[in-house]
Amino acid sequence: MLSKPMKRPLVIFTLIFCLGIFVSRQLRIPFLPVYILALLSLFLSLIFLKKTMRSDIFLSCLIFFLGAALWKNYQILPRCHISGYSSYKNNYPYTVKGRVDSQPAFKNNTASFIFKAEEIQFNGSSYNTCGNIIVYVRSKKDLGSALTKLQGLEYGEELILTGSLYRPFRSSANNRQNYRDYLYNQGIFSVMNVSGIDSVARLKQNRGLIFQRLAFWLKDRMEDIIFKRVSFVPASIIDAMVLGEKKNIPVLINNSMMKSGTVHILVVSGFNVALVTFIIILSLKLARIPKAIRFYIAAPLIVIYCLLTGASTPVVRATIMAGVFMFACLIKREPDIYNSCALAAIFILLINPRQLFDIGFQLSFASVISIVYLYPKLKSFITPRVLKIKYIRFLIEGCLVSLSAWLGTAGIVAYYFRTFSPITALANIFIVPLASLITLCGFSLIAMQFLCPILAPFFAYSSEFAVSLLLNINAFLIKLPGAYFRLS
């Protein structure tokens, strides 16, 4: 008798794969033994291919050791990697040639960007190198105009930089999350400080990917519109919600959102990708474009949006899930959210297994899984009669989604940020709908600027009002007794 096929094999595979990464991180075993065990598991699963039970066991072992080997391999940096040339602190003047690998950020007379190194010079010798570093170009003396020389610096541009190179420090007293680990999780093992604009030589060549350059160009144009039409603080919030750019948000606002557990709305997350997907599909639907073509048009646009917002883990997860859902609709199959979530996790971890220990990765997956798993269970406790009234149903469903997400993420938030916020479940009920409205308003503002600029100021006023309302509600909620607790 044939056994029934498993409904969600990808979920089990992903869990085993993650376990392999986790165990490999804890144990000090070299790469080769792990690799040999993976090969052995592959060999045994091939031999016992027809014996279901044994084949399954060896297949599980194979995936486990694959995860472990991937982690070990990721830990080994190439001999020429730039981190091999830097120590925790030295004063060599290093000269590094390479290209800008992110969109440069300008703040407080400092320009910062990720730099893909190709050649390094120090002590009169030159070496080929590889790897990413984070660069800070600081200008202390000529505060006003120096950095304007760097304006126009863009992704992909070739540069020669001269400055000090060092490994990042653990800049936080909190052992559970610090800047060094954050950088390591992004695959950045060195920091370069460049003092003064004269230490930056621009080679006027751009070798960035066209698709990525297009995304950043679009982002620049959209940011210009937002900051031109809306005053600075609301514009910084809209910029974060719509384009994922957090650099202009005042620290105090960030702190107060963290206290209320609603800081997730200040980053582009799965929610935004879902919203963008919805807007694109709906716009195409309104233009009477057939369903199949709608999906073919929407898919690259969502990928551009993902690149435009910096391709952070939650956005990549949501983009893959949206892609899976659209593909399932195209081939008329029922999409399974757990399997698409697992596919997104495998995809992210194959590129960078360190992401498993990244707070963003953990929060993103924990919130989605807890909403999908807990929400129907919590909803089953509510009597169906109450849910028949449309507005009460809407309110209760909102509360339950918020509660599910909070239950799933409260532990992680308490562990990393040492803050426990019971107010989160209540705050999300008010904040999330307002955040949706602001995001929609932000997109409408950008669209109106192109389609009908005369209407754009009205959208700007509405957005500004919604942001002000959101911040005031948040400020009120965190003042309530027992709103949040700092864990020692």
Residue from 208, 234, 244, 353 that binds other proteins (CB under 8 A)? 234
Q: Which of 1, 53, 251, 331 binds other proteins (CB under 8 A)?
A: 251
State which amino acid sits at residue 441.
C
Query: 310 with 244: CB under 8 angstroms?
Result: yes
Verify binding: residue 187, other proteins, rule CB under 8 A.
no
| CB contact at 8 A, 157 and 137 | no
* Residue 180 one-letter amino acid: R
Instruction: Tell me: does residue 468 bind other proteins (CB under 8 A).
Output: yes
- Residues 422-451 within binding reach of other proteins (CB under 8 A): 440-441, 444
Stretch that binds other proteins, among 78-86, 195-203, 226-234, 369-377 (CB under 8 A): 226-234
Among 70, 315, 403, 471, interactor with other proteins by CB under 8 A: 471
Chain positions 341 to 360 lying near other proteins, rule: CB under 8 A, are none
Minimum distance of other proteins from residue 140's CB (angstroms): 6
What's the residue count for the chain?
488
The whole-angstrom separation of Cα 254 and Cα 155 is 27
Output DSSP code: residue 155.
Answer: T
Please tell me the distance from the alpha carbon of residue 421 to that of residue 398, in angstroms, as a whole number. 18
Q: How far apart are CA 216 and CA 38, in angstroms?
A: 41
**Residue among 70 and 253 whose Cβ is closer to other proteins:** 253
User: How far apart are CB 437 and other proteins at their closest, in Å?
Assistant: 9
Written as six digits, the tokens of 18 are 């993650």
Cα torsion 74, 77, 83, 89 to 10°: value is 80
Shortest Å, Cβ 234 to other proteins: 6
Nearer to other proteins, 177 or 468 (CB): 468
Cα–Cα distance, 300 to 278 (Å, whole number): 14
Q: Which is nearer to other proteins, 287 or 331 (CB)?
A: 287
In the complex, least distance from residue 125 CB atom to other proteins, rounded to whole angstroms: 34
Site pattern 99..138 for other proteins (x: CB under 8 A): ---------xx-----------------------------
Q: Which is nearer to other proteins, 355 or 444 (CB)?
A: 444
* Alpha-carbon span 487 to 481, nearest angstrom: 16
The phi, psi pair for 170, rounded to 5°, reads: -80, 95
Distances (CA, A) of 303 to 197, 232, 309, 446: 35, 29, 10, 19
Q: Of 256 and 339, which has the nearer Cβ to other proteins?
A: 256
Provide the minimum distance between the beta carbon of 324 and other proteins in the complex, in angstroms, as a whole number.
Answer: 23
**Nearest to residue 321, comparing CAs of 399, 269, 377, 243?**
269
User: For residue 146, what are its two tokens?
Assistant: 């120096």
Indicate which single residue of 302, 403, 460, 477 sits in contact with other proteins (rule: CB under 8 A): 460
Of 199 and 206, the one with the shorter C-beta distance to other proteins is 199
- Nearer CB in complex with other proteins: 47/282: 282
Interface pattern 273-292 for other proteins (x via CB under 8 A): ---------x--xx------
Cβ distance 178 to 170 under 8 Å?
Answer: yes
Q: Tell me how far apart the alpha carbons of residues 485 and 488 are, in angstroms, rounded to a whole number.
A: 9
Residue 181 engages other proteins in binding (rule: CB under 8 A): no
Q: Is 475 in the site for other proteins (CB under 8 A)?
A: yes
- Whether 131 and 86 have beta carbons less than 8 Å apart is answered as no
Residue 453 touches other proteins, criterion: CB under 8 A: no
Q: How far apart are CA 325 and CA 337, in angstroms?
A: 8
Instruction: List contacts with other proteins (CB under 8 A).
Output: 108-109, 140, 143, 231, 233-234, 250-253, 255-256, 282, 285-286, 440-441, 444, 455, 457-462, 464-465, 467-468, 471-472, 475
